Chain A
């Protein structure tokens, strides 16, 4: 396949594969914790970080990471006030993120084209610097997830029991939300702000539909995300479409096929 002979496609694939893996692992926990909306909330805040970077002249991607992490802390802070209504803190942060992004984007009218790539993703836009940042932070996220995986699994199933087994649930909650924020910010380069949440939620949805154990659910989720990203990137290259769209549509198709197949068996 000569698609890989282009350096920008090599970078897109390398970045895409890393993003697929971290999005699906984090996404499975998010869905099971009933926090599906957190991806949307954080990605909109990331966008405001991107816009701020473009406006003030620093690396936009870094702006996204920082803003997203700050938003994560803010979500955790709000959560203490709306204990039983996690959605409220997400809705507040999401609205705030959109508002801030809108203002910053309209302040700097000139960069509308660049913003487009951050909204819907781009395969040509992944620079070598972007790729290194994605790989470095991606590996940090992966190692961190391995480190908290079992305790997070316990907490996700039964937070009370986990707490009384000596699991430091407060610290792990905050840490996990920050990892989520970093994952979202990393992903917007390839999938775009508007669609990153789907890449977290849809593979997990497939996993939950057919997984016969937690391990299997996680594995299926990762595989679905990888297939979606690889197929989506190829489609994006061939037909010159924004990769965010092709990736997410691929994952939706997989979900629909799985649901039909499941119904057919019953």
Chain B
């Protein structure tokens, strides 16, 4: 399988103390990679290193085979940060205006009148077609996350990184969001890397699970993941065996 993301012997810390040490981490095309671990384990940090926002002390990061320091093909990558849910909700822009920004063609200074059609299609796909002229601040948290997903999808990325995309969303909307993601993965043939605290939802669909804790990252195929693996990162048993 084609390796889309590859971290080799990566060590990184914000201060003189490393939060990740000698990490090896790979994502292949078609993977649905879940990143789990307790608060402060360095899940978001891992993602930011993968995206080149943080530069490791040592080790290499490759995205689509290219050294991350030279990588500039960002059209193939989508990223939704952990704080997207906390964005200024009083911002005076419509759902459609927000989604348009996800298209590189639209970010050119002029033109792009035909792109509205594409925005419409993607918004319909995530079930937000009927609110496209509403202000972003008038939506519920769950609806807003769908709009952000639409903004990612409209750029037709090959891999999407999502950091706790369902923060602040109720359980039903969360379940719907995961289902929507399943559908879109099929439609768009996506590779997904997602940080999540929802172990049950993850175990149902992720193909691989990366456990982050104690400065280490251990990747397991989901069926091979055991209570012991989880206990090791979380320090306690995390789900009930049926």
- Nearest chain B residue, comparing its CB with the CB of A164: B79
Assess whether A212 is in contact with B87, with CB atoms less than 8 Å apart.
no
* Dominant secondary structure of chain B at its interface with chain A: loop
B24 at the interface (CB under 8 A from A): no
Q: Which of B70-103 contact A (CB under 8 A)?
A: 72, 74-75, 77-81, 83-84, 87-88, 90-94, 97-98, 101-102
Beyond A157-B93, A213-B92, whether A165 also contacts B104 by CB under 8 A is yes
Assess whether B87 is in contact with A165, with CB atoms less than 8 Å apart.
no
Chain B interface size band reads: 20 to 34
B146 at the interface (CB under 8 A from A): no
Q: Which of A154-169 contact B (CB under 8 A)?
A: 154, 156-158, 160-167
Beyond A157-B101, A213-B94, A214-B93, whether A164 also contacts B75 by CB under 8 A is no
Number of interface residues of A (CB under 8 A): 29
1/0 per residue, CB under 8 A from A, across B114-132: the answer is 0000000000000000000
* In-complex Cβ contact of B109 among A149, A158, A167, A217 (8 A): A149
A238 at the interface (CB under 8 A from B): no
Assess whether A161 is in contact with B107, with CB atoms less than 8 Å apart.
no
A227 at the interface (CB under 8 A from B): no
Assess whether A157 is in contact with B98, with CB atoms less than 8 Å apart.
yes
B64 at the interface (CB under 8 A from A): no
B234 at the interface (CB under 8 A from A): no
Assess whether B102 is in contact with A150, with CB atoms less than 8 Å apart.
no
List of A residues within 8 angstroms of B94 by Cβ: 212-214
List of A residues within 8 angstroms of B88 by Cβ: 32, 157
A261 at the interface (CB under 8 A from B): no
B155 at the interface (CB under 8 A from A): yes
Q: Which of B28-86 contact A (CB under 8 A)?
A: 51, 53, 72, 74-75, 77-81, 83-84
Beyond A212-B94, A214-B92, A214-B94, whether A150 also contacts B74 by CB under 8 A is no
Q: Which of A29-52 contact B (CB under 8 A)?
A: 32
Assess whether A214 is in contact with B77, with CB atoms less than 8 Å apart.
no
* Residue in B88, B101, B155 whose Cβ sees the most chain A Cβ within 10 Å: B101
Assess whether B74 is in contact with A208, with CB atoms less than 8 Å apart.
no
Beyond A213-B133, A215-B97, whether A166 also contacts B79 by CB under 8 A is no
* In-complex Cβ contact of B81 among A148, A161, A166, A215 (8 A): A161
B186 at the interface (CB under 8 A from A): no
Minimum CB–CB distance from A35 to chain B (whole Å) comes to 13
* In-complex Cβ contact of B79 among A147, A161, A217 (8 A): A161
- Nearest chain A residue, comparing its CB with the CB of B73: A166
Assess whether A212 is in contact with B151, with CB atoms less than 8 Å apart.
no
- Nearest chain B residue, comparing its CB with the CB of A33: B88
* In-complex Cβ contact of A161 among B72, B80, B110 (8 A): B80
Assess whether B106 is in contact with A150, with CB atoms less than 8 Å apart.
yes
Roughly how many angstroms separate A163 CA and B80 CA in the complex, as a whole number? Answer: 11
B204 at the interface (CB under 8 A from A): no
Minimum CB–CB distance from B102 to chain A (whole Å) comes to 7
Minimum CB–CB distance from A117 to chain B (whole Å) comes to 36
B23 at the interface (CB under 8 A from A): no
List of A residues within 8 angstroms of B77 by Cβ: 164
Assess whether B92 is in contact with A164, with CB atoms less than 8 Å apart.
no
A207 at the interface (CB under 8 A from B): yes
Assess whether A150 is in contact with B84, with CB atoms less than 8 Å apart.
no
Assess whether A161 is in contact with B151, with CB atoms less than 8 Å apart.
yes
Roughly how many angstroms separate A162 CA and B97 CA in the complex, as a whole number? Answer: 14
Assess whether A153 is in contact with B92, with CB atoms less than 8 Å apart.
no
Residues of A that sit less than 8 Å from B by CB:
32, 146-151, 153-154, 156-158, 160-167, 207-208, 211-217
27 interchain pairs, CB-CB under 8 A: A146-B109, A149-B109, A150-B101, A150-B106, A150-B107, A153-B93, A154-B101, A157-B87, A157-B93, A158-B84, A160-B83, A161-B79, A165-B102, A166-B75, A167-B107, A208-B90, A208-B92, A212-B94, A212-B133, A212-B135, A213-B92, A213-B94, A213-B97, A213-B133, A215-B97, A216-B92, A217-B93
Q: A156-B91, A161-B79 are in contact. List 20 more A-B contacts (CB 8 A).
A: A32-B88, A32-B92, A146-B110, A147-B109, A150-B108, A153-B93, A157-B98, A158-B87, A160-B83, A164-B78, A165-B102, A165-B107, A166-B74, A166-B75, A208-B92, A212-B92, A212-B133, A212-B135, A213-B94, A215-B97
